Chain A
Amino acid sequence: MVKWTELERSTVKAIWEKIDIDEVGPQIWARVLIVYPWTERYFGSFGDLFTITAILKNDKVAAHGKVVLKALDKAVNNMDNMKRTYADLSQLHFQKLEVDPDSFRLLADCITITIACKLKSALSPQSQAIWQKFLYAVVDAMSSQYR
């Protein structure tokens, strides 16, 4: 189980409070599909993902971005219980959706970079380090049922 200091908890919450899920969720998801196009393999049902413009306009991409950030909200509020919080989602991504867990790391990096675009210098090196520790714990929890 990951241990969190008070500073780490408050830093994660402070960053999260600045994120508008409805605005940033779609941006993060579009960024993943544009920067790592092979992740499109999981989204055959999303329709047109053939061009950057199509990805940026795609409603299903936008909706999925919001779904993912709402799930991340659970992690922010359950930092001491992430494996249990994500057990079902991990199982789903492994057995039913068959998602390569490396994709979770790609998503984590896109989340960090999208947040960096929003917060700019307010995301200090120390905050980034703490935020990444948090995201990598989420990635671990999402990978926990893969066996």
Chain B
Amino acid sequence: MLSKREKDLIKEIWERLTPVAAEIGADALLRMFASYPGTKTYFSHLDISPNSSHLLAHGKKIVLAIAEGAQDISQLTVTLAPLQTLHAYQLRIDPRNFKLLSHTMLVSLACYLGDEFTPVAHAAMDKYLSAFAAVLAEKYR
């Protein structure tokens, strides 16, 4: 359960990161590919080498979707409806992978924000990303 304070904190952090969405997203993806090589199997159609335009574009897409969800967390199911359909019927990414990207996203945030990524921010963000992943997987079955 996210408190109002946590929701405000999450919204504020993602608003601040929107200008560097491509950088953060690409970093999280690279970390995921390095730590969990099985995730690369979903990206054979893209050039996922560091700094590739594909990687930056894809990273940006993911971060902007996360940031958009953060604008009104109580409406996640509505905001994510198109992405739910995409992931369930087209991409069919095993939802266990959402946890892996959530983890590397937290590491990317920690690397970017340093000590500003306090335990409170970390807890709130972990809860938000878990909720985001759960909503994303809702149409799978």
Contact = CB atoms under 8 A, between A and B. Distances in A.
Interface residues of A, number: 22
A139 B111 CA distance: 23
Contacts of B104: 128
A132 B104 CA distance: 11
Contact of A117 (B34, B117, B126): B117
Nearest to A37: B123
The DSSP consensus for interface residues of chain B is helix
A125 B111 CA distance: 11
Contact of B111 (A56, A109, A120, A126): A120
Nearest to A112: B107
B114 A129 contact: no
Nearest to B112: A120
A114 B111 CA distance: 9
B114 A34 contact: no
Residues of B in contact with A, size category: 20 to 34
Nearest to A34: B119
Contacts of A123: 107, 111
Contact of B31 (A30, A35, A52, A125): A125
Nearest to B106: A113
Interface of B: 27, 30-31, 33-35, 103-104, 106-107, 110-115, 117, 119-120, 122-123, 126
